[in-house]
Amino acid sequence: MTIISNIWLNLLSVVGTFIIIYMVFIIIFYSIMLIISLFHLRKEFQLDDQEPYEELLTLNYTKPISILVPAYNESIGINGSIRSLLGIEYPEFEVIVINDGSTDDTLEKLKTSFNLIKLNKVIRKQISTKEIEAVYQSSIYPNLYVVDKVNGGKADALNAGINFSQYPYFCSMDGDSILERDAFLKVMKPIIESDDEIIASGGSIRIANGCEIESGEIVKIRLSQRPLVVLQIIEYLRAFLMGRVGLSRHNLLLIVSGAFGVFSKHWVVQAGGYSHTVGEDMELVVRLHRMIKERKLNKKIVYVPDPVCWTEAPESITYLRRQRSRWHRGLFESLWTHRQLFFNPKYGSIGFVSMPYFIFIEFLGPVIELLGYLFMVISLFIGGIYIEYAILIFLISILYGSIFSMAAVLLEEWSLRKFPRVKDVIILFLFSLTESLWYRPLTVLWRCEGIFHLIIRKKGWGEMIRKGVSNDHA
């Protein structure tokens, strides 16, 4: 028994040491990302950015854009979202709503609200999709179209929208999202100025729960009173302002959010459109990177921090758990589909930096963190030197979680300043201190649950109930 006990204790020591080394490495990595983001954001916002964006409204080389809105049972918030899109500041655009076989009154609400008239139009099928049942155009807004099709999932709906679109760039958006009026000017600016070098550009996603929204426009930015939502806001700030800014700086970005991203239609069609995976947005970006490297093209995919899209976040643990589990499954599907990129010299920094980052930090990170939590619990019963291990892991987890979240809140206030009330910034700052104590362990469990679902081959999105981000539901 003594030999077995010694082996067990030695194994525990090895596990504890590994967890500590891993978490220290993560802290160093994110510290570097924070520094890169800090300098990049200050460099961007030292400029007077109002005049350049207004100038884009009159330039004849500003590229027209098709806005694709896949909608499946989005009756609650669809009208507010569409009105938000129709009111954007941009010279030339079309809004294409793809009703993906909704079983609620989404289509009827669109017909009534926007006076839709049926069109007889042949659609060029560049990408294979489910059958199109009807196409409508608004008699009130000539640049608003609705494509009604057989249900095929979000990727299929987006592919149908690409087939129908007439402009060289398209934006994929969620049906429950609200755009700031100048968001497209900002997200398109690097594309316009790059002379086609940039083939995709993504903006920031913020949480609209708690904000006052009228006629599809943000009237007042306010925090939700629900702690679960506030912690999601902090999580989004950290992911976008620290993670994506740092990766985008060196063309290492593998994710452009499906809620707000602009793509060159030519290159997306060349890549085969969206795939039928849980994480179709990430998989497309990885495939574009892969195509760029294989064809030895000088193309970039970037993240632009300032253009903001506001979207609804889950307010209950049940739906947030489903979302995070699904996201983790989608992450694995994208990484597994393109596993040949991993440490492959042919793909340069994507193979040697981006893929290892998403595999070892984003995908396997929750497993290591869960081991850390289990180690701390076991150490309380064993005692001795293992208590010191547990304390060290706990302190590192606080630094890893809460401190970086606090830094993201300060970075937001220092650069973008989307939250006008000092009270809101203070609340975000204080909540970020508590993240490692309850919210982060929950997300770790949910992401590990996603890995378990992969093992048992669970499919599908899972039901998500929305309240609608806009008060304009009529």
pLDDT per residue over 206-224, tens digit each?
A: 898 988 887 767 888 888 9
Pair type for strands 300-311 and 178-179? antiparallel
Cα 383 to Cα 9, 259, 376, 387, distances in angstroms:
11, 48, 10, 5
Cα 307 to Cα 181, 264, 474, distances in angstroms:
9, 18, 28
Tokens 């640049």 correspond to 143
What's the token pair of residue 234?
């902090």
Cα 446 to Cα 26, 317, 321, 351, 451, distances in angstroms:
20, 10, 6, 28, 9
- Contact indicator for 146, 52 with CB cutoff of 8 Å: no
pLDDT at 474: 45
CA–CA gap between residue 248 and residue 258 (Å, rounded):
16
CA–CA gap between residue 190 and residue 262 (Å, rounded):
11
pLDDT at 94: 96
CA–CA gap between residue 44 and residue 51 (Å, rounded):
14
Q: Quote the number of domains for the chain.
A: 1
* Closest to 257 in 3D by CA, of 190, 187, 208, 193: 187
Q: Give me the residues of the chain with pLDDT under 70, please.
A: 1, 4, 43-61, 175-176, 216, 415-416, 459-474
Q: What is the CATH number of the domain that holds 80?
A: 3.90.550.10
What's the token pair of residue 110?
């669109």
What's the token pair of residue 323?
């979302």
- The pair phi, psi for residue 71, each rounded to 5°, is -135, 120
- Contact indicator for 215, 83 with CB cutoff of 8 Å: yes
Tokens 């793809």 correspond to 98
- Contact indicator for 173, 183 with CB cutoff of 8 Å: no
Q: Angle, to 10 degrees, between the axis of helix 106-114 and the axis of helix 78-86?
A: 40
What's the token pair of residue 222?
């306010």
Residue count (the chain): 474
pTM for the whole thing? 0.89
Q: Name the residue range of residue 20's domain.
A: 1-474
> 3-state SS of the chain?
CHHHHHHHHHHHHHHHHHHHHHHHHHHHHHHHHHHHHHHHHHHHHCCCCHHHHHHHCCCCCCCCEEEEEEECCCCCCHHHHHHHHHCCCCCCEEEEEEEECCCCCHHHHHHHHHCEEEECCCCCCCCCCCCEEEEEEECCCCCEEEEEECCCCHHHHHHHHHHHCCCCEEEEECCCCEECCCHHHHHHHHHHHCCCCEEEEEEEEEECCCCEEECCEEEECCCCCCHHHHHHHHHHHHHHHHHHHHHHCCCCCCCCCCCEEEEEHHHHHHHCCCCCCCCHHHHHHHHHHHHHHHCCCCCEEEEEEEEEEEECCCCCHHHHHHHHHHHHHHHHHHHHHCHHHCCCHHHHHHHHHHHHHHHHHHHCHHHHHHHHHHHHHHHHHHCCHHHHHHHHHHHHHHHHHHHHHHHHHHHHHHCCCCCCCHHHHHHHHHHHHHHHHCHHHHHHHHHHHHHHHHHCCCCCCCCCCCCCCCCCCC
Q: In what order do the strands lie in the sheet with 93-100?
A: 116-119, 132-138, 144-149, 93-100, 65-71, 169-173, 260-264, 198-207, 300-311, 178-179
Considering only CA atoms, give the Rg of the chain: 23
* Closest to 79 in 3D by CA, of 24, 36, 116, 119: 116
What's the token pair of residue 228?
């679960």
